[in-house]
């Protein structure tokens, strides 16, 4: 038996793929998280009310989602209902994270895969291509900055935001600052669309070159966004079957009745499934589960996507095209929300701490994120973090196996396999920093 080991780059955290082969047959494909973070252990015993400023340190990229999920878990435990204004402000904050994350994933992590290079800054050596490359990089970083600026505006700071609090938000968003953010988003929205159009063309060329979109076997999909239009400050999780029918809808507190979790002996990250079946979360799940985006440009992209690939769509590399649709949506939706009055009334209510169990749910860029806290004597007795990437672990391994079977035979191993493994894993945009709790 031969083991093929592929270290991974352009993902969040540290992981590798190991493919076991014998006589040209793929015996197993394993996605291994190779770091242990230990957050679940070292938050035990801390005052529960400190959790919203501690758990964002789980990940510098996903810190916004952890911040809001933590506050919601404590509100659930304390029996607190935040005012509608706070819910809207949290949605704006999460839209900022979506812009920042999708721009990073698309244009820094996966765009190089479209032209078979290691970096956005190594796409070609010709002077004409260098000029185009510089244009792409400059626009990509400016679009990403619009997301970080929105996080800072709504969350108080970009890395590890602080403005979500138990009972609501610390402040609203004033008219002058909101208008300034609207101007920035309006300026960058055309650039985001141009970049996505280029990305779409590169993706079609990649498909023509390699002859596949990757694993396209029908599967189940998990998301917590709304049915009629996306919402990231979520309440319910939803499961779609392989044929597009909705199979289940449940609160975060009921996740253990629907999702099965298992540990493995080869990775620090576990994996979930729906009734033992392979499941996908993240952008493709949200696009499959959304009837519309609810904003004009994103809806045009959604119609183009559905006409091109069907609904539900299943192929792995389509995750990336879905991120582009969401990037455009998040910018349009943020402009809409910032145009409203987000500073007219008190954005928080008082609360009284109490012991109990609380669940907090948000739709992070990588899928549904759940925090579950057990509070005893005002302190954390137990904390569980149900991480979006964990929902995709089995799907990643199946997709890597499909890639292995495509490029390995009894006579040789096609050198395209290394690129294919990277493309497959990055399509899921995994966050290993979060997944190893």
Higher pLDDT, 123 or 71: 71
What pLDDT is attached to residue 271? Answer: 95
Tens digit of pLDDT for each residue in 153-162?
A: 999 999 899 9
pLDDT level of residue 121 (50, 70, 90 thresholds): low
Provide the 8-state DSSP code for 49: G
Write down the pLDDT at residue 411. Answer: 87
| Per-residue confidence (pLDDT) for residue 189, from 0 to 100 | 98
pLDDT band, very low/low/confident/very high, at 122 (cuts 50, 70, 90)? low
- Indicate if the pLDDT at residue 124 is higher than 80: no
Eight-class DSSP state of 211: S
pLDDT of residue 214: 94
Asked if residue 319 has pLDDT above 70, the reply is yes
431 is in an annotated binding site: yes
Q: Per the annotation, does 322 bind a ligand? A: no
- Report residue 182's pLDDT band, with 50, 70 and 90 as the boundaries: very high
pLDDT > 70 fraction of the chain, expressed in percent and rounded: 97
Average pLDDT over all residues of the chain: 94
Residue 136 has pLDDT above 90, yes or no: no
- Give the domains, in start order, of the chain with CATH numbers: 2-435 (1.10.645.10)
Task: Tell me if 286 sits within 8 A of 225, measured CB to CB.
Answer: yes
| 127 vs 148, more confident | 148
Question: Cα(329)–Cα(189) distance, rounded to whole angstroms?
Answer: 10
Q: How confident is the model at residue 39 (pLDDT cuts 50, 70, 90)?
A: confident
Tell me: pLDDT of 435 over 90. no
The average pLDDT across 272-290 equals 96
Residue burial 169-181, b: 16+ Cβ < 10 Å; e: rest? beebbeeeebeeb
Confidence of residue 244 (pLDDT cuts 50, 70, 90): very high
pLDDT of residue 118: 74
What value does the mean pLDDT take over residues 413-435? 94
Amino acid 239: pLDDT: 98
- C-alpha distances in angstroms, 323 versus 120, 193, 283, 361, 429? 18, 12, 6, 21, 10
Tens of pLDDT, residue by residue over 1-22, are 899 999 999 898 889 999 999 9
User: End-to-end alpha-carbon separation of the chain, Å?
Assistant: 32
* Helix, strand, coil share (%) of the chain residues, nearest 5: 50, 20, 30
Q: pLDDT of 368-401, one tens digit each?
A: 999 999 999 999 999 999 999 999 999 999 999 9
Distance CA 4, CA 22 (A): 11
Determine the Cα–Cα distance for residues 325 and 308; give it in Å rounded to an integer: 14
Residues 20 and 29: their CA atoms lie apart, in Å, by: 6
Rounded CA-CA distance 219/242 in Å is 5
DSSP per-residue string spanning 83-101: -HHHHHHHHHHHHHHHHHH
**pTM of the shown model:** 0.96
Q: For residues 163 and 331, give the distance between their C-alpha atoms in angstroms, rounded to a whole number.
A: 21
For 334, how many CA atoms within 13 A lie in the half-sphere containing its CB?
36
The percent of residues in the chain predicted with pLDDT above 90, rounded, is 86
Q: Is the preceding peptide bond at 185 cis, omega within 30 degrees of 0?
A: no
Region 206-225: what's the mean pLDDT? Answer: 95
Cα–Cα dist 11/35, whole Å = 14
Task: Kindly report, residue by residue over 298-314, the tens digit of the pLDDT.
Answer: 999 999 999 999 999 99
Position 1 scores a pLDDT of 83
pLDDT tens column, 341-356: 999 889 999 999 999 9
Residue 430, strand partner residues: none
Binned at pLDDT 50, 70 and 90, residue 317 comes out as very high
- Sequence-ordered list of residues with C-beta below 8 angstroms from that of 374, at least 6 positions apart, any chain: 357, 380, 381, 382, 383
Tell me how far apart the alpha carbons of residues 282 and 93 are, in angstroms, rounded to a whole number.
18
Q: CA-CA distance, 196 to 194, in Å (whole number)?
A: 5
Q: Give the three-state DSSP class for 168.
A: strand
The model's confidence at residue 410, banded by pLDDT at 50, 70 and 90, is confident
Q: What is the pLDDT of residue 437?
A: 67
* SS3 state of residue 437: coil
Residue 193 assigned as binding residue: no
Reported as a single tens digit per residue, the pLDDT across 52-86 is: 999 999 888 899 999 999 999 999 999 999 999 99
Other Cβ atoms within 10 Å of 353 Cβ, number: 15
């Amino acid at each position: 038996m031969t083991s093929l080991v592929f270290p991974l780059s352009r993902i969040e955290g540290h992981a590798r793929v190991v493919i076991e082969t014998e006589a040209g047959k793929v015996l197993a494909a394993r996605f291994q998280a190779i770091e242990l973070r230990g957050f679940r252990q070292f938050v035990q015993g801390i005052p529960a009310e400190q959790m919203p400023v501690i758990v964002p340190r789980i990940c510098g990229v996903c810190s916004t989602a952890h911040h809001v999920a933590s506050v919601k878990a404590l509100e659930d435990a304390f029996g607190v209902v935040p005012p509608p204004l706070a819910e809207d402000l949290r949605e704006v904050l999460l839209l900022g994270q979506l812009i920042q994350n999708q721009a990073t994933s698309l244009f820094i992590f996966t765009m190089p895969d479209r032209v078979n290079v290691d970096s956005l800054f190594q796409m070609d050596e010709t002077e004409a291509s260098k000029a185009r490359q510089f244009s792409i990089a400059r626009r990509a970083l400016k679009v990403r900055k619009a997301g970080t600026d929105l996080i800072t505006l709504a969350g108080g700071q970009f890395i590890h935001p602080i403005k979500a609090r138990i009972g609501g938000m610390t402040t609203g968003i004033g008219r002058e600052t909101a208008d300034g953010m609207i101007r920035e988003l309006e300026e960058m929205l055309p650039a985001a669309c141009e970049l996505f159009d280029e990305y779409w063309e590169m993706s079609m060329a990649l498909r023509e070159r390699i002859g596949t979109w990757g694993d396209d076997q029908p599967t189940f999909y998990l998301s917590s966004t709304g049915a009629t239009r996306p919402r990231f400050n979520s309440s319910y999780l939803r499961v779609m079957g392989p044929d597009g029918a909705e199979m289940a809808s449940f609160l975060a507190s009921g996740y253990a009745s629907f999702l099965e979790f298992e540990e493995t002996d080869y990775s620090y990250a576990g994996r979930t499934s729906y009734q033992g079946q392979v499941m996908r979360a993240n952008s493709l799940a949200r696009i499959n589960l959304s009837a519309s985006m609810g904003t004009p440009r994103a809806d045009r992209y959604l119609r183009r996507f559905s006409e091109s690939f069907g609904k539900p769509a299943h192929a792995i590399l389509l995750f990336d095209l879905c991120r582009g649709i969401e990037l455009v949506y998040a910018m349009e939706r943020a402009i809409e929300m910032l145009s409203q009055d987000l500073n007219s009334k008190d954005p928080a209510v008082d609360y009284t701490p109490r012991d109990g169990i609380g669940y907090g749910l948000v739709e992070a860029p990588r899928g549904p994120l759940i925090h579950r806290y057990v509070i005893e004597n005002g302190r954390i007795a137990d904390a569980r973090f149900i991480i979006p990437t964990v929902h995709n672990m089995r799907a990643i391994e199946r997709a890597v196996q499909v890639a292995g079977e495509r490029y390995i035979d009894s006579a040789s191993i096609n050198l395209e396999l290394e690129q294919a493994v990277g493309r497959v894993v990055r399509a899921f945009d995994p966050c290993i920093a979060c997944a190893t709790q």
